[in-house]
Structure 1
Amino acid sequence: MRAAALYSAMGAMLLTTLSVAPADGLPATPGIPGAPGAPAAGAAPAGVAIAAARAAAKGITFGKCADAQDLPGSVRCGTVAVPLDYARPHGKQIELTVSRVEATHRDPHNSKHRVPRKGALVFNPGGPGGSGLYFPLIGLLPEWKRIGAAYDLVGYDPRGVGRSAPLSCKEPKHFFKGPSPAPTHPSESYKRERIAEAKAYARGCAQRAGAALRHYNSLNNARDLDVLRAALGEKRLNFMGASYGTYFGAVYATLFPSHVRRMVFDGAVNPDPARIWYRNNLDQSMAFESRWADFREWIAKHDTVYGLGDTARKVLASYERALARLAAEPAGGKVGPAQLQSAFLQAGYYDDYWPHRARALSDYLKGDPQELIAQAGPVTEAAAEAENSAAVYTAVECNDAPWPTDWKVWDRDNTRLARVAPFETWDNVWANLPCAYWPAPRQRPVDVRTGAGELPPTLILAAERDAAAPYDGALEMHRRLAGSVLVTERDSGTHGIAGGPNRCVNGHLDAYLLEDRLPVRRAACAGHAEPEANASKK
């Protein structure tokens, strides 16, 4: 599923998220064709070795970051070349832009103690399509200072993203639509409109990228990560992935287990090949319905503050009243039902949004639309970045695996699902439907798994009510990566919990990265406190 959200610890770090497994009780989905002739998982290992050796010899020359990246001088940037096609390692090369803040060596609790360097910690925020260039700034936050003392904090734009051979599928100026509907039970005519849009979008990707389009996929993202490791001079990789970053991180662990030192999977995606990616989105839509109910119950508990209803059902009625009013007259000429739904979808990722979204809805229904316009209106200045992120998301997901090519399959499965999970189901469909008409060859998904002793212990972090990466995905990741340890935040739904407000979670993260200590197999942390209601305007 598509969704742009903010990685909870740093507002500047884009975390476009992904999807996870099908809902329990839903029937298996026939109609997904095989992928005859698709490349085998892990193909072209010689190409990776050649590219990695070349990168290790050259290294990365770090210097001032480009002005357009708006990064402070403490962050240094450089590039590393990777093959567009690993089957042709001496062919066309593309450059990945990398950012770094070197380990400070400063112990935040003891200024006289010099902390020894443990290596580079490479981060990917997910997506696919998220930029990690701002990640090194996270070392400024109190929760990350100990890690920033011991590690060079390294972020990068994966292939296709930002300044790394950017991918585009349409003109950015046409990316943001005007106020638009968001029907939970769309008519046949509306479905036909969206099918036409999906076909046009898929054609646009092919026309703009040409033959290169097929090379934007998770397998190449994992290969690029090994080249980056080599370019950084690291014999073994320290990696932290969030959301989709956990998936291709797990692909990396499967392909290059001996190259791993430490790995953190935060908000783990279900890596089962049978669920990549169509079936994942079904379960994600179901999970968002549950999290939407959590949010409504929280609003109801604070009815004296927001006046939206003292039960979840009454809050839903207030939300639907806003949808109807926006359909009749968009707020500020910018915010229609689809924009409202998108803004409230973000609240499904992070409960930090809850007070602000509730305040905006309350103000709007009382006659003041300004907060709603500010929170839900399109940020036109970010159109190019948003279009690029969406293009990479689409290309990677469509290239990674077979998808149903018969609209009847999509229509049947999601009509059924929307009866019990109307909040996000159809919006999820429209985001992924270009994959039904994708022109590039599909791959067979990697069978993510490692045997006993193949991989050093890895740390999986998961919130029990995470909607973007439902908890079953973390359990599956745990089963497939032998020797992994799962830390669960109970009764919480934040998507990405590392370095957040939960001291118990952060304690396990620090113990792993700084002291090589982990629980035996599983551990649980009590959920963090719910946000406080905001009685005044933001």
Structure 2
Amino acid sequence: MRAAALYSAAGSLLLSALAAAPADGAAGTPWSAESRGTAVAVQRAREAGIAFTRCDGRDAPRSLECGTVRVPLDYARPGGRQIELTVSRARATQKDPRNSKRKVPRQGALVYNPGGPGASGMYFPAAGARPEWRRIAAAYDLVGYAPRGVGRSAPLSCVAPDRFVQAPTDAPLHPSERYKRQRIARAKAYARGCAERSGSALRFYNSLNNARDLDVLRAALGEDRLTYLGASYGTYFGAVYATLFPSHVRRMVLDSAVDPDPQKVWYRDNLDQSAAFEDRWADFREWVARHDDVYRLGATPAAVQLAYDTARGRLAGRAAGGVVGPGQLQDAFLMAGYYDDYWPGRAAALSSYLKGDARALVALAAPDRATAAGAENASAVYTAVECNDAPWPTDWRVWDRDNTRLARRAPFETWDNAWTNLPCAYWPAPRQQPLDVRTGPGELPPVLVLAAERDAATPYSGALEMSRRLAGSALVTERDAGTHGIAGGPNACVNGHLDGYLLEGRVPGRRAACAPRPEPRPGVRAAARHPERDALKGKAA
């Protein structure tokens, strides 16, 4: 009843809203049902705003406020079922961290998405307390949110959480035919579970709707134009947003950019990711070998690989702590491919395990039952969005051929990545054709693209493609570095470009480069970064 009443109230304003409605090419025409529905939802959100109150939870900082925004499940039917997205905010401090007597003008809201698909940005506003973010936090309300399907935002689920975190598991680099058949059966069952638990709603969890939701959120925040920071997958639907709503963009930062080529979304993007992880795994082994005096895992990358293979073999015979098998080892060390600040802890745990002490490895790699529901939810959203977004091969022989071929030269992550995505071969919901992300000269304000040259999760070629497709964009490269997500990190050069762009609208030339951050020091464990990082297994395409 409430949704119908809101729809009627918005009706008198619909004609004026449609006059500025964006071209929704992926949905058909500028006057598509989804485009008209987006205009209705935007108008409702602008009128309703967001009623922010103190966030739930004892650990929530006092500066953090939370609220919700209502969006249509199906934008073609804006008067139908509504879902609520949770939103968090820390108001602009307006205090110059370099001059306590100077008041900084507020520039509006900065909306953040950490990627995934399936990650929540609800924790982002707390970043304003970190030194790297204080200048931005002075000028902007920092806004995070949980996208549709994530957390409390109409959450998706495909399997019971206790089944999702079963352990120990195997992770063969070159699987047998029997093992492949088992994984095919699991993929089919997982896809069925997604459909059974979500019903007809499943098809509406996709990148186009994520972009439309972002425009509704913009309006609910009272912003005429969006200032946005997207990381990883957040760069992809940020670019979708820029293509659909170019006149609604104020400033946009795309950090660790996905390759948006429609021919690569998402099957080929994932193959490219697996190949890039092999190079990043080599970086880790080289670093461990240089510090053989600390870890005693071998003085060459080949020796470190042998140590890792020895651990895999032992865990296949007897799981550490009864729960850490080769699959859990793989998951833990995959994170070292995303973030080099994890290198010391992973190397130390492997070294201790091979010396007979498994405690550090169990603490690092054992499934956390307390966070199982969140991990399963993240997996469900990841799967739904990527499967819905684009066509995938439906013939197992194509998957088998491509991954067998790739695993010969890139064994570290190839098959693990394939099993993650295999439900898309048997997906029960209709597939879309990816939007041709592209803007012409003058259609969009300059966009700032950030990328680490050796990023594995989103290979550097994706940043080059993204910057080519968004006319007038500027690319900042952290050379010879591979950490995934570089905005607000320890590289002062990168942060200088970020601050200059967000605070003053300055962009470097079409290409700029920064020297790499220092390598991690052996024996120094990683500090906590983002609570959502491990929940996704870092799986951000």
Is TM more than 0.5 here? yes
Q: After TM superposition, what 4+ stretches of structure 1 lie above 3 angstroms from structure 2? A: 38-43, 535-538
Encode CA deviations 1:103-146: one digit per residue, 9 max, x unaligned: 00011110000000000000000000000000000000000000
- Residue of structure 2 equivalent to 1:50: 40
- Residue of structure 1 equivalent to 2:107: 118
Distance 1:50 1:321 in 2: 60
Equivalent residue of 1:529, what SS?
coil
Equivalent residue of 1:158, what SS?
coil
5 Å-filtered alignment, 1:211-290, equals: 211-290=200-279
CA contact (8 A) 1:102 1:152 kept: yes
Distance 2:327 2:375 in 1: 16
CA contact (8 A) 2:344 2:525 kept: no
Encode CA deviations 1:414-443: one digit per residue, 9 max, x unaligned: 000000000000000100000000000000
CA contact (8 A) 2:345 2:524 kept: no
- Residue of structure 2 equivalent to 1:179: 168
Structure 1 residues 536 and 389: alpha-carbon distance in aligned structure 2, compared to 1, 3 A threshold: closer
5 Å-filtered alignment, 1:416-495, equals: 416-495=405-484
Indicate the larger mover: 512-521 or 358-367: 512-521
CA contact (8 A) 1:85 1:215 kept: yes
CA contact (8 A) 1:117 1:149 kept: yes
CA contact (8 A) 1:462 1:497 kept: yes
CA RMSD of aligned residues (A): 1.3
**Cα drift, residue 375 of structure 1:** 0.6
Code of the residue aligned with 2:362 in structure 1: it is I
5 Å-filtered alignment, 1:265-344, equals: 265-344=254-333
**Cα drift, residue 535 of structure 1:** 7.8
CA contact (8 A) 2:161 2:373 kept: yes
Distance 2:96 2:125 in 1: 17
**Cα drift, residue 71 of structure 1:** 1.8
**Cα drift, residue 41 of structure 1:** 8.5
Aligned length: 500
**Cα drift, residue 385 of structure 1:** 0.3
Query: 5+ unaligned residues in a row in structure 1: which ranges?
Result: 1-37
Distance 1:219 1:441 in 2: 14
Q: Of the two structures, which has the highest relative contact order with CA contacts closer than 8 Å and spacing of 6 or more?
A: 1
**Cα drift, residue 178 of structure 1:** 1.1
**Cα drift, residue 62 of structure 1:** 0.2
Distance 2:447 2:93 in 1: 25
5 Å-filtered alignment, 1:27-426, equals: 39-40=27-28, 43=32, 44-67=34-57, 70-426=59-415
**Cα drift, residue 67 of structure 1:** 2.8
CA contact (8 A) 2:111 2:227 kept: yes
- Residue of structure 2 equivalent to 1:29: none
Code of the residue aligned with 2:315 in structure 1: it is L
CA contact (8 A) 2:157 2:198 kept: yes
Code of the residue aligned with 2:131 in structure 1: it is P
Structure 1 residues 41 and 418: alpha-carbon distance in aligned structure 2, compared to 1, 3 A threshold: farther
Distance 2:367 2:62 in 1: 30
Distance 2:176 2:492 in 1: 48
Code of the residue aligned with 1:364 in structure 2: it is Y
CA contact (8 A) 1:323 1:340 kept: yes
Distance 1:109 1:528 in 2: 24
Distance 1:234 1:280 in 2: 33
- TM-score (norm. length: structure 1): 0.92
Distance 2:348 2:526 in 1: 7
Distance 1:412 1:471 in 2: 25
Encode CA deviations 1:255-289: one digit per residue, 9 max, x unaligned: 00000000000000000011000011111000000
CA contact (8 A) 2:284 2:343 kept: yes
1:531 and 2:520 matched: yes
Distance 1:509 1:283 in 2: 27
Equivalent residue of 2:172, what SS?
coil
Distance 1:521 1:151 in 2: 26
Code of the residue aligned with 2:265 in structure 1: it is I
CA contact (8 A) 1:41 1:219 kept: no
Code of the residue aligned with 2:48 in structure 1: it is K
CA contact (8 A) 1:40 1:443 kept: no
Distance 1:536 1:216 in 2: 37
Structure 1 residues 398 and 537: alpha-carbon distance in aligned structure 2, compared to 1, 3 A threshold: closer
**Cα drift, residue 536 of structure 1:** 9.4
- TM-score (norm. length: structure 2): 0.91
Equivalent residue of 2:349, what SS?
helix
Distance 1:149 1:133 in 2: 19
Encode CA deviations 1:277-309: one digit per residue, 9 max, x unaligned: 001111100000000000000000000000000
**Cα drift, residue 515 of structure 1:** 1.1
Query: Between the two proteins, what is the percent identity of the paired residues?
Result: 71
Equivalent residue of 2:372, what SS?
helix
Distance 2:305 2:443 in 1: 50
CA contact (8 A) 1:359 1:537 kept: no
Structure 1 residues 306 and 423: alpha-carbon distance in aligned structure 2, compared to 1, 3 A threshold: same
- Residue of structure 1 equivalent to 2:3: none
Equivalent residue of 1:273, what SS?
coil
Distance 1:174 1:314 in 2: 36
CA contact (8 A) 2:262 2:436 kept: yes
Structure 1 residues 491 and 303: alpha-carbon distance in aligned structure 2, compared to 1, 3 A threshold: same
CA contact (8 A) 1:241 1:249 kept: yes
**Cα drift, residue 172 of structure 1:** 1.1
CA contact (8 A) 1:41 1:444 kept: no
CA contact (8 A) 1:40 1:444 kept: no
**Cα drift, residue 40 of structure 1:** 4.0
**Cα drift, residue 39 of structure 1:** 4.8
CA contact (8 A) 1:306 1:535 kept: no
Query: 5+ unaligned residues in a row in structure 2: which ranges?
Result: 1-25, 528-541
Equivalent residue of 2:68, what SS?
strand
Structure 1 residues 321 and 537: alpha-carbon distance in aligned structure 2, compared to 1, 3 A threshold: farther
- Residue of structure 1 equivalent to 2:15: none
Code of the residue aligned with 1:479 in structure 2: it is R
Equivalent residue of 1:96, what SS?
strand
CA contact (8 A) 1:240 1:266 kept: yes
CA contact (8 A) 1:349 1:494 kept: yes
Distance 1:247 1:71 in 2: 29
CA contact (8 A) 2:341 2:525 kept: no
**Cα drift, residue 173 of structure 1:** 1.7
Structure 1 residues 221 and 366: alpha-carbon distance in aligned structure 2, compared to 1, 3 A threshold: same
Distance 2:54 2:522 in 1: 42
